[in-house]
Chain A
């Protein structure tokens, strides 16, 4: 029995009733992995043995009649920048090629406690810097809907693993739009939680004030389920908060009472007519259902993108300073002083994109430029946050496209590098403001590529985002597009 396209909640139900064992579940998952991943390249490491042990334990527990936690037996993938005891963690960088952290990220501990079976680590742009997963030190990941195209990034491996039907759930991480953009490119749901809702302990930092861990799912109930297990205050991450209640509205959910803002400046960034039409279609359906939709004007996201590239790189230049080769990482040979030791270690360990961003970050923080760049960026970030705060006085949600275009083709020509940076643009304002946002599938275009929309909400509004996404799914029929199109070819 193939469990592709079955929700985790359904699988768990089946498992509890004895309709399937955790080992069978894992076998099913492994078959799909074997069939697909050599073309997708979504994973950089697998842990089947450990997964089998865990599955066995779950089966034994079930037989013994013990209570099973609600993610029991569910195969899950994690991004390669999250620490896990007795596992590697490379961030898809040569710098960490031989790194064993020895500790687990809080989210990993929580998932394991909830019964999840972690099957492996997914590909990403090196150190989470990139929007295509082509900047991985290993290999690019491919889009399950078209193997010539990118899955997006930096969490492209996790998005492709869910979109390609290998696992029902995966963890990604975002600094700018590294969950929502690949989710949209791969036709699945991706959630960026409120900043501080999910612990960052054990997540290799890119830009600490922006980084958040979030889930990918093909099903909204699954997304909610895993999110509830990730959320919560963590003593090991003092920027976490308990936040507001994790409670969905359920039957009390009343969409006609909601006010939805449609920011003009976001719509203008769309380069693909299909996406605009799809959004229009959704708006018409919503209005028919009684939802009030109003166009508004907000700070141009191009400014948010500029601010983001300053703040994220500035923090990255500091966060990545610990990679000096002294306590871990490649030990360079043929150097006779510590300055050269550190320089050579970094020169050999990091790829070009990482070096570029570190250099840019160091520049914008330098005494010569910080006033014009870093300090100003902080001011504009605050303006963006305030503007959104004020908007929540009049609106409950912001609806927009998720990306200006669908997934683009593999290949790192200069002419599309701007396009790559721009593919995050609509995700950035929520990241800067620390507010939650979800990207949701809106069907396929003529080429069979997924199109995506985005919902943003106030702090701690994840339950509302998921309820409303569910409502859109009900009235439009747009849901996750889990597919593996092997005919897409293997080379490009």
Chain B
């Protein structure tokens, strides 16, 4: 009989930090530059060269660690992780092994806090490409700063892993310290997975999963691997410590290498770099100036501004969109603004060509009835095309909504005269016929008449006729 097994997953996320220059030299970090053009003697590990630490990378790393609520090591340092590989120029990777920048963090997804074991800085390796069966190494990537985030093994399903990663990605996009682009490799994720019965100790025989190039792939690989391991365990077998890759084509994990005879990385502290010393006041000021996070913003929107969950989710998905929304909401009712953005503007790149106060102006004119909502949308369209102020467009087009009673009275009389059969429909009980009449009145006024006033006036006129029999 098969036992109910629970999944235990820990994630290791690597983010390329978007500094202009590499971690230890002044080479550019530009993506997709021609192979081996962003290199110098330092990142190629030529003899006699020494690393110089990029302070911006430390700053970004600190922002990341603080954002994840980590305790900060005011003195951290770099270590060498020694191994041979063609894409590793120095024969060692400079990383933080003994003293990471941050540790003991948490990250909230929905209502659950996930524990973050550590957050540390390290350098990226080069990239191996196989061209016509030849190994070609591009060292452009070598030395790009990475932030590694290691979670505690507290994730218990593929779905949870995916949500965690989605939220984490959004979080770092808001911090603006990484492009978080999985296709370009600026966000990479490995997962450690094991299965256990409820109450059982964590298995030491974890399998590390690699080569997953989307969050979907992470979820699928975990699901596959969970089933694979459950089957082995249920048949009385043992899971081996190993690294497995994800084959997206076959939708399967496959054996990469065993961890039984693991590589001995011979770590020791990097003698070419002084320790990273941070002052508490500096850490505090970075902490105090962290950009507001998506969760916080969303909470304010839904709770204080009473924005719907669905609209909030749409608005939060991109930081420029969220910021544009918040700015516009300073000038117009947030609910209206959210509705306008969601209904009319999602196909555009944010921030829009039209300033937030102008968008708010249109929304407000519609709100007070100066502009019909149809005309409002046209004004918006023109404002985006011409970059003119909404007021100017309305003046030029003569679209200002008219609430003048005499004007509306004349139109209404005209509509009643010209459409006796519709009037008859209404009088015989078809209440919806009034909408037809309002539409006709608006048409005659070329959309300028205030529809609410037209409606009111029509209603009272029709009532008169009803009473007069």
Residues in chain A within 8 A of chain B (CB atoms): 81-83, 89, 91, 96, 99, 101-103, 105, 200-205, 207-209, 235-239, 314-315, 317-318, 320-324, 326-328, 338-339, 341-342, 362, 365-367, 370, 374
Contact = CB atoms under 8 A, between A and B. Distances in A.
Contact of A327 (B50, B89, B264, B266): B89
B-side interface size class: 20 to 34
5 tightest A-B CB contacts, nearest first: A321-B91, A209-B271, A208-B271, A365-B266, A322-B45
A103 B40 CA distance: 10
B158 to A, nearest CB: 34
Contact of B272 (A81, A235, A239): A239
Interface in B215-239: none
A320 B92 CA distance: 10
23 contacts: A83-B47, A83-B48, A91-B47, A101-B48, A103-B41, A202-B48, A205-B272, A207-B271, A235-B52, A237-B272, A238-B273, A318-B82, A318-B91, A318-B268, A323-B91, A327-B45, A327-B46, A327-B89, A342-B84, A365-B82, A367-B264, A367-B266, A370-B266
Given A322-B89, A327-B44, A342-B84, A201 B264 contact: no
A102 B41 contact: yes
Interface string B256-287: 00000000101010011110000000000000
A105 B48 contact: yes
Contacts of A342: 84, 86
Contacts of A314: 268
B53 interface: yes
Contact of B274 (A89, A102, A239, A326): A239
A202 B46 CA distance: 9
Given A82-B48, A83-B48, A239-B274, A326 B137 contact: yes
A366 B266 CA distance: 5
A318 B48 CA distance: 14
Identify the interface centre among B46, B80, B85: most chain A CB within 10 Å of its CB: B46
Contacts of A326: 86, 137
A328 to B, nearest CB: 7
Contact of B135 (A236, A318, A321, A338): A338
A239 B47 contact: no
A89 B48 contact: yes
Nearest to B44: A327
B129 interface: no
A315 B50 contact: no
Contacts of A207: 271
Nearest to B267: A365
B160 interface: no
A200 B47 contact: no
Contact of B47 (A101, A238, A318, A374): A101
A321 B94 CA distance: 13
Interface in B35-89: 41, 44-53, 80, 82, 84-86, 89
B18 interface: no
A440 B84 CA distance: 43
Contacts of B85: 338
Contact of A317 (B46, B49, B82): B82
Given A238-B274, A315-B271, 11 more contacts: A89-B47, A103-B46, A202-B49, A238-B273, A322-B89, A324-B84, A324-B86, A328-B47, A339-B84, A366-B264, A367-B264
A220 B268 CA distance: 39
B48 A322 contact: no
Of B49, B50, B82, B90, chain A has the most CB atoms within 10 Å of the CB of B50
Contacts of A370: 266
A200 B50 contact: yes
A270 to B, nearest CB: 32
Given A208-B271, A324-B84, A362 B48 contact: no
B48 A204 contact: yes
A355 to B, nearest CB: 15
Interface of B: 41, 44-53, 80, 82, 84-86, 89-92, 135, 137, 139, 264, 266, 268, 271-274
A345 to B, nearest CB: 11
B37 to A, nearest CB: 15
A362 B266 contact: yes
Contacts of A322: 45-47, 89-91
A65 B22 CA distance: 45
B72 to A, nearest CB: 21
Contacts of A205: 47-48, 272
Contacts of B86: 324, 326, 338, 341-342
A477 B312 CA distance: 88
Contacts of A99: 47
Q: Name the residue among A203, A322, A366, A370 with the largest chain B CB count within 10 angstroms.
A: A322
A81 B48 CA distance: 8
A344 to B, nearest CB: 13
Nearest to B82: A318
B82 A201 contact: no
Contacts of B52: 235-236, 238
B50 A201 contact: yes
A193 B331 CA distance: 67
A342 B271 CA distance: 25
A328 B39 CA distance: 14
Contacts of B82: 317-318, 321, 365
B91 A238 contact: no
Contacts of B46: 101, 103, 322, 327-328
A236 B41 CA distance: 12
Contacts of A83: 47-48
Contacts of A209: 271
Contact of A318 (B51, B80, B137): B80
A318 B93 CA distance: 10
A314 B48 CA distance: 18
Contacts of B80: 318
A237 B271 CA distance: 11
A190 B2 CA distance: 77
Nearest to A83: B48
Contacts of B50: 200-201, 236-238
B58 to A, nearest CB: 12
A318 B41 contact: no
Nearest to B90: A322
Nearest to A329: B47
B92 A321 contact: yes
Contacts of B89: 322, 327
Contacts of A365: 82, 266, 268
Contacts of A202: 48-49
B24 to A, nearest CB: 10
Nearest to B273: A238
B406 to A, nearest CB: 80
Contacts of B135: 338
A314 to B, nearest CB: 7
A318 B273 CA distance: 15
B91 A208 contact: no
Contacts of A201: 48-50
B41 A239 contact: no
B143 to A, nearest CB: 13
A389 B46 CA distance: 36
A328 B91 CA distance: 13
A21 to B, nearest CB: 34
Contact of B92 (A82, A318, A328, A338): A318
B78 to A, nearest CB: 11
A107 to B, nearest CB: 11
A185 B335 CA distance: 87
Contacts of A236: 50, 52
Question: Counting chain A CB atoms within 10 Å of each CB, which of B48, B271, B272 scores highest?
Answer: B48
A91 to B, nearest CB: 7
A132 to B, nearest CB: 23
A341 B137 CA distance: 14
A157 B274 CA distance: 32
B44 to A, nearest CB: 5
